[in-house]
Amino acid sequence: MPALLISYTLWGNGALDVIDQLAWLKARGFEALGFHTNERLAPDRGLDIRELTDADWARLRQEVAGLRGIEVHAPIQDELSLVATDATARRESVHRLSRHLEFAAKLGADVVVVHSGAGENGTTWEQRRAALVDSLRQLEAVCARTGVPLSLEVADDLIVADRLDVLTEVECPHLGICLDVGHIAFQRDGRPGYAHYGSIPGFIEHRGKRLNHVHFHDYDGKRDHLGLGAGHLDLKGILQALRRVGYAGMLALELAPEAVPAEKAAAQKDLLLKWVQEVWEGHEPDRDSRGSVGTTPAGASVEHHGELN
């Protein structure tokens, strides 16, 4: 994978199913793409990996061929919980996520993104933290076997970003952090998720070496997954921090169709590419027309746009 790739997360496009959306976006200049493997969202907003036929696999392999980056986003919210204190529920979540890692390996994906999930009512963070440590240790063995890294998204409990120090408790070389630049700005107990670090760039400076994926969009204090510049995040400041820590993964545009229709995806990619070039100015990025930059980089309530994040 090149040093920095602009990706796009599929989020519905008319009557097209996920596989046809891959083709549609490739034709518009994207060389890195992501999609949800979530049967509840199939067929247009997620892929049901349980129901893939040989013909589906043939279509899927054809459309991912030539991509330089692939993100698989595992099921989210109530469907999978790595923080469940009930051992049976946690074991089932780990088993289910293992199937998604195996699917990603078969496809040749670069990363699987997962949320920690919701804990049971009445449990404390310390109880959920212990459950998460247990889940991650089990999943590390699956990642080692499949060769696919896992990226734990700043979501759910982990919106309070200093809780990511849980990663220091587990020896998981295949595990990293997925920074969602909108989620980390959400309010928890009257403070933004990044409060411990002072700012989103401050979080990046502190945790940057563990970042292995980034979800990129804007946030206006109420709505996330907005188009670039439609919210109040200092997106260029975030890019500058990513450059300073040497981030070299994907920048995945994760845009709600209500905010940014799919036909405007290419324009958002071009804008982000322009910003990346400005931030990396003087480093002579090796740009091609498909959105890659081949250089080595030296309180409000939340109204979600749809279900994907």
Cβ(301)–Cβ(222) below 8 Å: yes
pLDDT higher than threshold 80 for residue 294: no
pLDDT tens digits, 184-201: 999 999 999 999 999 999
pLDDT tens digits, 72-83: 999 986 678 999
Helices (H) and strands (E) in the chain, counts: 7, 11
Cβ(79)–Cβ(115) below 8 Å: no
* pLDDT at residue 185, rounded to an integer: 98
**Residue 82 identity:** L
Q: Write down the pTM of the prediction.
A: 0.90
pLDDT higher than threshold 50 for residue 29: yes
pLDDT tens digits, 216-244: 999 999 999 999 999 999 999 999 999 99
Which backbone phi and psi does 185 adopt, to 5 degrees? -95, -5
**pLDDT confidence band for 119 (50 / 70 / 90):** confident
* pLDDT at residue 36, rounded to an integer: 96
pLDDT higher than threshold 80 for residue 296: no
4-293: CATH architecture: Alpha-Beta Barrel (3.20)
**Looking at per-residue confidence, does 286 or 105 come out higher?**
105
Cβ(75)–Cβ(50) below 8 Å: no
pLDDT over 70, % of the chain? 89
**pLDDT confidence band for 1 (50 / 70 / 90):** very low
Assign 1 to helix, strand or coil. coil
Assign 112 to helix, strand or coil. strand
* pLDDT at residue 212, rounded to an integer: 97
* C-alpha distances in Å from residue 233, one per residue of 21, 72, 186, 280: 28, 26, 11, 19
Distance CA 184, CA 171 (A): 24
pLDDT tens digits, 51-96: 999 999 999 999 999 999 999 999 986 678 999 999 999 999 999 9
pLDDT higher than threshold 80 for residue 112: yes
**pLDDT confidence band for 281 (50 / 70 / 90):** confident
* pLDDT at residue 51, rounded to an integer: 92
* pLDDT at residue 145, rounded to an integer: 97
Q: What is the mean pLDDT of residues 93-112?
A: 97
Q: What is the mean pLDDT of residues 18-25?
A: 96
**pLDDT confidence band for 288 (50 / 70 / 90):** very low
Give me the residue spans of the domains in the chain: 4-293
Other beta carbons within 10 angstroms of residue 44's beta carbon come to 16
> How is residue 120 written in tokens?
């049971």
pLDDT higher than threshold 90 for residue 49: yes
